[in-house]
Amino acid sequence: MSRFAFNRRQFLQGTAATLALAPLELPAMPFGPADKTYKVGLIGTGWYGKSDLFRLIQVAPVEVIALCDPDKNILDKAADLVSQRQHNKQKPKLYGDYKKLLAENKLDIVIIGTPDHWHALQCIDAVKSGAHVYVQKPISVDVMEGEAMVAAARKYNKVVQVGTQRKSTPHLIDAKKNIIEAGLLGNIKHVEMCCYFHMRANGNPPVEPVPAFFDYETWTGPAPLRPYDGLPHIRWWRTFKEYGNGITGDMCVHMFDTVRWMLGLGWPKRISSQGGIWVQKDGKSNISDTQSAVFEYDGLNCVWQHRTWGTAPNPDYPWSLTLYGDKGTLWASTMQYDFIPVDTKNGKKIHMDVVYEKEKYPEDNTEERIELNAAPATRLHMLDFIKAIENGGRPVADIEQGHISTASCILANISMDLGGRALVYDPQKRVVINDPEATKLLERPYRKGYTHPDPRKV
């Protein structure tokens, strides 16, 4: 029996028992040759880059050939962990320059786990090198980067899966099939999405010398070079507009992408947003601590709200989506879902919890910083990725869908920065209709030495 066959069987056994109560069609498994081993490289060996790689190792026959990171300490630690986790126990080759990694290795798959401001260049270069790509969300820091990523994936005919693994989350797949598609909600005419986690890093650390083990110039890449005030890993970089799009770009993208998948929605007709730094005014952070956004469709508004202070209106659903229909309401998060019918006499409430696989994958229990609730979803997401590579199809979180969700969140931030006016984006012309000022903001300036990708010339 091949390792791949064993892992697929192991995965299905783990999920089948949990989902026995609800008939559910999980994404189909790959049907490639049993002896195929995928040569893999990881760019960005921090927390989530390693997490994604380890989930792939668990379900597919891979050989991790190379790792890249500008932090030598993180890179060395990642190499040790990978050698322990992969089947051949070999240490991968190590790089500080991702372009050198791509040039010196013929890779089947590249996983990109770097901060958002690097996603576009690395993804485009990876598909040009001949690799399929798994890239974390949000896919880009500006709209034109996303357009270029989609164009590159199509031009070079490569599978690009985005790390919006809610589409592969077992209990959310169940909600889509057995609540929404079964018609239990009736006519859905309003959606609310939210995040009330206190996740906005703040503070005033002093400027200090860059340590010898960290290549800050390379880490910064095309983004503006901020004065160095400590290692930017985990949450510190996310608190600055220079590298991402704040809580909306980080957390709304997950919920909005899930809503679009559940309801079959494309680009919003119109996007508007209001907010700012209203409470947490001390510290260096320049992302909003309070923000609302409306993504408008015909007869349906999808409303986002985040606060990085105070309490959540519903403590059971602090980061979630809520679908309101004329027959019922669906609350859903990464941890659970609850269906509440309008007619409580004839209907019944339905609840389902997140799937865990701690017994089937005992290594999950000792992995540093692992999100145990997300691990089964990411494993399914990786299997869907492999299936698309094997069959030549589009994955469930194809780059185009990731782009729509990411760009919509970026447009919400642009609206907020322009005083809250509504924006109508034309993805064919790649402009904000009748708004030259907003159109100019669709592409951020790059730092000297870096060239912004052009979707017409990738």
Contact criterion met (CB below 8 Å) for 447 and 225: yes
Is residue 395 domain-resident?
yes
Task: Assess contact for 79 and 71: CB atoms under 8 A.
Answer: no
d(CA 49, CA 136): 8
Contact 311, 202 (CB under 8 A): no
| Count of helices and strands (H, E) across the chain | 13, 16
Q: What is the pLDDT of residues 157-175, one digit of tens each?
A: 999 999 999 999 999 999 9
Helix (H, G, I), strand (E, B) or coil at 32: coil
Confidence of residue 14 (pLDDT cuts 50, 70, 90): very low
The pLDDT of residue 150 is above 80: yes
Would 457 be classed as within a structural domain?
A: no
The pLDDT assigned to 324 comes to 98
Average pLDDT, the chain: 93
Average pLDDT over residues 376-402: 97
What CATH number is associated with residue 431?
3.30.360.10
Residue 132: in which H helix or E strand, if any?
strand 132-135
Give pLDDT tens digits for 263-294.
Answer: 999 999 999 999 999 999 999 999 999 999 99
Question: Do the domain assignments include residue 328?
Answer: yes
Q: Are residues 328 and 394 in the same domain?
A: no
Residues 409 and 385 in one domain: no
pLDDT in tens, 433-448: 999 999 999 999 999 9
Q: Is 321 domain-assigned?
A: yes
What Cα–Cα distance (Å) separates residue 287 from each residue in 230, 314, 351, 412? 18, 24, 35, 13
Q: Please check the confidence at residue 427 and state whether its pLDDT lies above 60.
A: yes
Question: pLDDT (tens digit, 9 = 90+) per residue, 211-246?
Answer: 999 999 999 999 999 999 999 998 999 999 999 999
Residue 35's pLDDT is what?
A: 62
Asked whether residue 208 is domain-assigned, the answer is no
Contacts 24+ apart (CB under 8 A), 220-229: 220/447, 221/117, 221/118, 221/121, 221/447, 221/450, 222/117, 222/118, 222/121, 222/446, 222/447, 222/450, 222/452, 223/117, 223/141, 223/447, 224/447, 225/447, 229/205, 229/284
Tell whether 332 and 392 lie within a shared domain: no
Tell me the sheet residues that pair with 306. Answer: 195, 291
Q: Does residue 418 sit within a domain?
A: yes
Q: Are 174 and 167 in contact (CB under 8 A)?
A: no
Per-residue pLDDT of 108-125, as tens digits, reads 999 999 999 999 999 999
pLDDT band at 345 (very low <50, low <70, confident <90, very high): confident
On whether both 187 and 313 belong to a single domain, the answer is yes
Place of tokens 């190792």: 57
Q: Which residue type does 91 have?
A: K
Report residue 310 as tokens: 């105070």
Inside any domain, residue 269 = yes
pLDDT at position 9 is 37
337 lies in the same domain as 419:
yes
> Are 175 and 266 found together in one domain?
yes
Domain around 92: 3-167+371-399
Are residue 40 and residue 182 in the same domain, yes or no?
no
Residue at 381 is within a domain: yes
Domain identity same for 265 and 379: no
Domain boundary residue, one of 347, 382, 399: 399
Q: Are residues 77 and 181 in the same domain?
A: no
Write down the pLDDT at residue 18.
Answer: 36
Rounded to whole angstroms, the Cα distance separating 441 from 45 reads: 31
Domains contained in the chain, number: 2
Inter-CA distances, 400 with 131, 284, 308, Å: 17, 34, 30
User: Are 128 and 247 members of one domain?
Assistant: no
Task: Give residues with Cβ within 8 angstroms of 321, minimum separation 6.
Answer: 191, 192, 193, 255, 258, 259, 331, 332, 333
- Rounded CA separation 205/454 (Å): 37
Say which residue the tokens 């510290």 belong to: 283
Determine if the pTM surpasses 0.85: yes
CATH number of the domain where residue 163 is located: 3.40.50.720
Q: What is the mean pLDDT of residues 408-427?
A: 98
| Residue 361 region by backbone torsions, left for phi larger than 0, else alpha for psi between -120 and 50, else beta | beta
Strand, helix or coil for residue 366: helix
Tell me, yes or no, whether 135 and 30 share the same domain.
Answer: yes
Q: How far is CA 59 from the centre of its chain?
A: 20
Give yes or no: residues 198 and 312 share one domain: yes
Beta strands in 347-452 (DSSP E): 350-353, 425-426, 431-432
Local structure of residue 252 (DSSP, 8 states): I
Please provide the size of the chain in residues: 458
CB neighbours of residue 68 within 10 Å: 28
Answer yes or no: are the C-beta atoms of 131 and 101 closer than 8 Å.
no
Question: What is the DSSP-derived secondary structure letter of residue 223?
Answer: S
Angle at 292 between CA 286 and CA 294, to 5 degrees: 130
